[in-house]
């Protein structure tokens, strides 16, 4: 039997619209729109932060609002290159070594948050060095807006019916189309299964909740006056949210084989830990270290 209140996936398509131009198809996808909206909202909020010097140490913003537009260009490059290369290195190395030309086909999907995060760090450090901006203060501003893009991206994952969770009999389980509904465990009580909508779990935890916490700390608790505090909360918060949701998230189909039925799950003693959890553990540790460092610096001041 199925969960009595299982939710049938709504009639949503990955493409918002598509048009034919000279034999080529031009399409706007929800995933691309999520990236665009995340970048634009982040740019606008950081502009507002830089226009409020009272929020920063010594009542001095780390850079003028006019320089934020150049920062946006660096961030876009860092997210796209880092996210794609991270996916290639962390998840499908052997496939892309065999078909290296496929690495450039970003529009077909395949981005890693952890890779994109590393790309943004590198891009941000280069930008700070070239423009004389304090790295930790810029990181704090970017940490505030990052959950917006993450949350929108997870909503796009839901619309695309990808990255779904493990089978469940919970009443909020979603019957996703395609393989998600048929590839049930061998002992599942039905030929069709509902799954945890882990995309929505992540949109809530890593997007809405994390942004609300950071916005409160920045606008109400003066977090930007403690360089590194907002960055630490974001890094640790994302790592903890991702680590938690991975317990309900199904391994990606390309990693599941007869010899590896759990996909990209590594064996650590009696427990299993996914690649997403492995990559999240250092984030939690680094984030907590940044929070501790920022708080210690405040008490020493």
Rounded Cα gap, residues 140 and 55, in angstroms: 12
Rounded Cα gap, residues 29 and 77, in angstroms: 19
Rounded Cα gap, residues 127 and 41, in angstroms: 20
- Taking alpha carbons only, the member of 189, 184, 186, 182 closest to residue 1 is 189
3-state DSSP assignment of residue 9: coil
Task: List, in sequence order, every residue forming a beta bridge with 214; answer none if it has no partner.
Answer: none
Show Cβ contacts of residue 10 under 8 Å, excluding neighbours closer than 6 positions. Answer: none
Which pair of tokens denotes residue 78?
């860092």
Rounded Cα gap, residues 301 and 297, in angstroms: 6
What ranges make up the beta strands (E) of the chain?
7-8, 15-21, 24-29, 174-175, 265-268, 271-274
Count, residues in the chain? 301
- Taking alpha carbons only, the member of 114, 90, 275, 89 closest to residue 206 is 114
Rounded Cα gap, residues 116 and 21, in angstroms: 32
Which pair of tokens denotes residue 243?
């680590």
Region for residue 132 given its phi and psi (left: phi exceeds 0; alpha: psi -120 to 50; beta: otherwise): left
The single residue listed with the structure tokens 């890693």 is: 112
Which pair of tokens denotes residue 169?
């009999």
Residue list for the binding site: 154
């Amino acid at each position: 039997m199925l969960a009595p209140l299982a939710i049938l996936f709504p009639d949503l398509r990955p493409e918002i619209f598509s048009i034919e131009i000279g034999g080529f198809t031009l399409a706007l996808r929800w995933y691309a729109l999520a990236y665009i909206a995340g970048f634009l909202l982040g740019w606008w909020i950081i502009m507002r932060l830089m226009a409020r010097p009272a929020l920063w140490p010594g009542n001095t913003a780390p850079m003028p609002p006019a320089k934020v537009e150049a920062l946006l260009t660096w961030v876009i490059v860092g997210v796209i290159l880092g996210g794609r290369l991270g996916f290639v290195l962390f998840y499908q190395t052997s496939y892309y070594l065999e078909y290296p030309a496929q690495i450039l086909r970003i529009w077909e999907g395949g981005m890693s948050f952890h890779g994109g995060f590393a790309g943004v760090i590198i891009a941000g450090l280069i930008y700070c060095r070239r423009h004389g901006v304090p790295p930790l203060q810029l990181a704090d501003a970017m940490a505030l807006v990052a959950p917006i893009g993450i949350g929108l991206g997870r909503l796009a994952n839901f619309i695309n019916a990808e990255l779904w969770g493990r089978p469940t009999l919970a009443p909020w389980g979603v019957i996703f189309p395609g393989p998600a509904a048929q590839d049930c465990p061998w002992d599942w009580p039905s030929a069709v299964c509902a799954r945890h909508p882990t995309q929505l779990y992540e949109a809530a935890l890593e997007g809405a909740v994390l942004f609300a916490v950071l916005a409160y700390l920045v606008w109400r608790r003066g977090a930007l006056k403690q360089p590194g505090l907002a960055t630490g909360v974001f890094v640790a918060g994302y790592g903890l949210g991702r680590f938690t949701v991975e317990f309900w998230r199904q391994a990606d189909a390309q990693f599941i084989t007869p010899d590896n039925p759990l996909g990209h799950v590594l064996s650590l003693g009696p427990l299993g830990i996914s690649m997403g959890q492995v990559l999240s553990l250092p984030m939690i540790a680094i984030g907590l270290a940044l929070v501790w460092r920022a708080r210690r610096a405040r008490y020493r001041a």
